[in-house]
Structures are given as C-alpha cells and as structure tokens.
A and B are shown apart, each in its own frame.
Chain A
Amino acid sequence: MTTTEAPLSVDKPRSSTRPAARRSNFELYSWVFMRLSGVVLLFLVLGHMLIMLFLDGGVHRINFAFVAGRWASPFWQLWDLTMLWLAGLHGGNGLRTVINDYSRTNVTRFWLKILLYCSILLTVVLGTYVIFTFNPNIG
C-alpha cells in the first residue's frame, strides 16, 4: 500500500513555477519570418525548378557551362543567393521548432540545436562562398 505523493494542501498558491517572461520578440519575429519567407520561397523554388527541370530541354541541358553561364549574370546570382539563405533559415527555423517540441530532455534539445545551427551555418556560408567566388575558367 503506497500513498500518493501529491501534497494535500497548496503551499504557496500565488508563487509561480514558470520563469518570468523574457520580454524578447524573437519568437514573434521568427513566426513572421516563416510566413514571409515561405511566400517568397514559393516563387523562387518553383521558378528554379521550372527553369532547371522543364523549360528549354530541362534537366538534360544542365552541365558546367550552363551553370557558369547563369552565374555570369548578377540576377541569377542574387536569385540563388536569396533562395539559399531563405531556404536555409526557413528550414532551419522549422527544424528548431520541431526540436523544441519533440526533445524529451533539455540536454537532447541543446545538442540537437547545436548540430542544427552548425549545419545551417556550414550550408549557408559554403553556398554563399561558392556563388561569389565561382570561377568559370576551372572547367
């Protein structure tokens, strides 16, 4: 026969066990960012896939020369740069909320987020580096 551990009376009814609000707008901005970047990505990604996979011979014409020709234009550089940054941050922020929701312990949450932030940083920095330093003559 065991007894329940719950106290029969409330010790301090008005004391809060929740941490005080941090007065940070980070969650608000990340929520707004997800909506806005989602709309922009819709055009960027669908446009990218249309050009790369369907128009004018589609995927069969893609080779080094094709990519070099595209990145000779600042317009396509900017397009790919925006797409890279928005997709990296949008996807990363989405995964951040998934990790926040599903991690069972704070330790798992911390390390998963570290792994996530490192991979975002790596992808975005490396991609940006390639877009700006791409040398068409190495082919």
Chain B
Amino acid sequence: MTATLSDNDNAVTDLPSDAPPVPEGATMVTVKIERFNPEVDEDLHWESYRVPAMPTDRVLNMLHYIKWYIDGTLTFRRSCAHGVCGSDAMRINGVNRLACKVLMKDMFAKSGETTLTVEPIKGLSVEKDLLVDMEPFFEAYKAIKPYLVTTGNDPSRERTQSVAERERFDDTTKCILCAACTTSCPVYWSEGSYFGPAAIVNAHRFIFDSRDEAAEERLDILNDIDGVWRCRTTFNCTDACPQGIQVTKAIQEVKRALMFRRR
C-alpha cells in the first residue's frame, strides 16, 4: 500500500477491512505523518491516516495501528515502548516527545476533529519516515568520553561516595540518549557540529562525579567553539527531556565550572 507522492498528499486513508473492531469509547483522529522513502521520494511529504484512539492510548499506539493495519511501510524506531530505551523520540505536534510517553487524551482537540502531526526529529538526516541517522548524535556523545576515567591502581574496595557527592550529578544520570533535547535545540538545527545538550549532559554526569579524574579534559573539550558557549539558553532542551532532566541548568553548571575552574 505504498502511497504515491503528489496525488495522495493530503488524502485520508480510511479504515482497512482487516482492522480489528473499533473499541467502545474510541474517537477517530487524523494522524498526519511526515514521510520519506529514499527509494521513491525526492522529498519529505505529509500523509494523513484515520485512526481510532482510546484516551488511554499513546501516540505510539497510533503509529502501530497505521503500521499494522494501514501501511506496513511506515518506518520508525521503538523498542521497549515504555519510556526507558529512548528509541522513539519524534516531533509530535511540533514538540519533541517520546511517542510512548504521550497519552492520546492529552492530544484530543477541545472541540472538533483532532489532528495529530508527527515528524522526525530535526537536525539529523532522515533515512526513512521517522527514522533518522543518529550517528552524528552518538559521535558527539563519544567525543566527551562518557565513561569513568581514573589513574593509578584499582582500589581493593569499591569507590565510595558520600550522599552529597552522589547527589551532585544525580539529575544528569537519568539521560536515556533519546536525542529529544539535542534535536530540539535551534543551534543544533543550524550547525550540526555543536555538541548539543545531550553530550553536555553526559559530560556533566562525569565532570561532577567525585570519583572521576578526567573533568579537566572534558571541560577543555566543551570550552571549544562547538562546546557550551554556543548554548543560547532557549530552554528547548529542558522542555523536551522525557526524563525531566534540567538540561539547561546542567549546561550552565558546566559554563560556571569552566569560568571558575571549580566544581
């Protein structure tokens, strides 16, 4: 059921015959998805689908419905489907969210027909439909050395930490690398060489860890032209984070550490 480019641009596909019965209490919604198939399409285009939605459904259920019963070629990432793995970050109604964490009852229009728009996250090249090339994102992540660096002999006991020392970087340990923050950042959209919020969050996680010894090195990396000084504190990242990490605050803390070379 591959749709062609121009004819079907805004056509609404009706319910297929082999779809399961629509449950009681379901509302029909229009899901408008920005699609791209590199083998046939020259550019991104919108396609709309009519999908029955329960208030308890998540946006991910809408995508599953489309993929399973309407158009099997719809491509997107999802793994755990419960907001842990961070695979299904996408731009839902213009904001970056995990499709598995957005409930349909919050998406219903106050009056009239509900239209849900779903786009791939911005700033990374689209490979197919909602699936983007995550490699530049992970490349920036790897560049800040997201692992414990120590010197000397390994201790014979575990590396202990006080409650306060652990608390210092607790917020930034929650990152699931979904790229919702980085791809919500206007600086990242226009210049992909910027490290982006996610890489800085993960640098923060080790810079402020009392057990780690490579803080200076990471600070030097983030002190460069593509580092923290590119941040314009628009707070898009903080708003986008499905884990509720105070991303902009973490970036500002790295700036402060750079200014005073003190943690």
Give A87 Cβ to nearest chain B Cβ, in Å.
21
Contacts A4-B127, A16-B139, A17-B139 given; 20 further ones with Cβ under 8 A? Answer: A1-B39, A2-B39, A4-B38, A6-B135, A16-B143, A18-B139, A18-B143, A21-B221, A21-B223, A22-B224, A23-B223, A25-B223, A27-B223, A27-B224, A27-B225, A28-B259, A32-B259, A97-B230, A100-B191, A100-B230
Closest Cβ neighbor of A1 among chain B residues: B39
Residues 27-64 of chain A, each 1 if its beta carbon lies under 8 Å from chain B, else 0: 11011100000000000000000000000000000000
Give A9 Cβ to nearest chain B Cβ, in Å.
13
Whether B143 pairs with A23 at a CB distance below 8 angstroms is: no
Q: Name the one of A1, A21, A31, A32 contacting B224, with C-beta atoms under 8 angstroms.
A: A21
Closest Cβ neighbor of B229 among chain A residues: A27
Cβ contacts under 8 Å, B143 to chain A:
16, 18
Cβ contacts under 8 Å, B259 to chain A:
28, 32
Indicate the size class of the contact surface on chain A. 20 to 34
B residues 218-251 near A (Cβ < 8 Å) are 220-221, 223-227, 229-230
Identify the interface centre among B190, B221, B224, B227: most chain A CB within 10 Å of its CB.
Answer: B224
Cβ contacts under 8 Å, B50 to chain A:
none
What are 28 pairs between A and B in contact, CB < 8 Å? A2-B38, A4-B38, A6-B133, A14-B142, A16-B142, A16-B143, A18-B140, A18-B143, A18-B193, A21-B220, A21-B223, A22-B224, A23-B220, A23-B223, A24-B224, A27-B224, A27-B225, A27-B227, A28-B223, A30-B229, A31-B229, A31-B255, A100-B191, A100-B225, A101-B187, A101-B191, A102-B190, A102-B191
Bound-state Cα–Cα, A21 to B230, Å: 15
Take A17-B139, A18-B139, A100-B225 as given contacts and tell me if A28 and B258 are in contact as well, using a CB distance cutoff of 8 Å: yes
Bound-state Cα–Cα, A28 to B149, Å: 25
Pick the 6 closest A-B CB pairs, nearest first.
Answer: A27-B229, A21-B221, A21-B220, A31-B229, A18-B143, A101-B190
Cβ contacts under 8 Å, A24 to chain B:
223-224
Closest Cβ neighbor of B227 among chain A residues: A27
Main secondary structure of the interface of B (DSSP, over half): helix
Bound-state Cα–Cα, A102 to B192, Å: 11
Main secondary structure of the interface of A (DSSP, over half): loop
Identify the interface centre among B127, B133, B220, B229: most chain A CB within 10 Å of its CB.
Answer: B229
Cβ contacts under 8 Å, A21 to chain B:
220-221, 223-224
Indicate the size class of the contact surface on chain B. 20 to 34
Bound-state Cα–Cα, A31 to B259, Å: 10
Bound-state Cα–Cα, A21 to B220, Å: 6
Give B199 Cβ to nearest chain A Cβ, in Å.
10
B residues 124-173 near A (Cβ < 8 Å) are 127, 133, 135, 139-140, 142-143
Give B206 Cβ to nearest chain A Cβ, in Å.
16
Cβ contacts under 8 Å, B225 to chain A:
27, 100
Cβ contacts under 8 Å, A30 to chain B:
229
Closest Cβ neighbor of A20 among chain B residues: B221
Bound-state Cα–Cα, A113 to B71, Å: 49
Cβ contacts under 8 Å, B127 to chain A:
4, 6
Give A20 Cβ to nearest chain B Cβ, in Å.
8
Give B204 Cβ to nearest chain A Cβ, in Å.
17
Give A31 Cβ to nearest chain B Cβ, in Å.
5
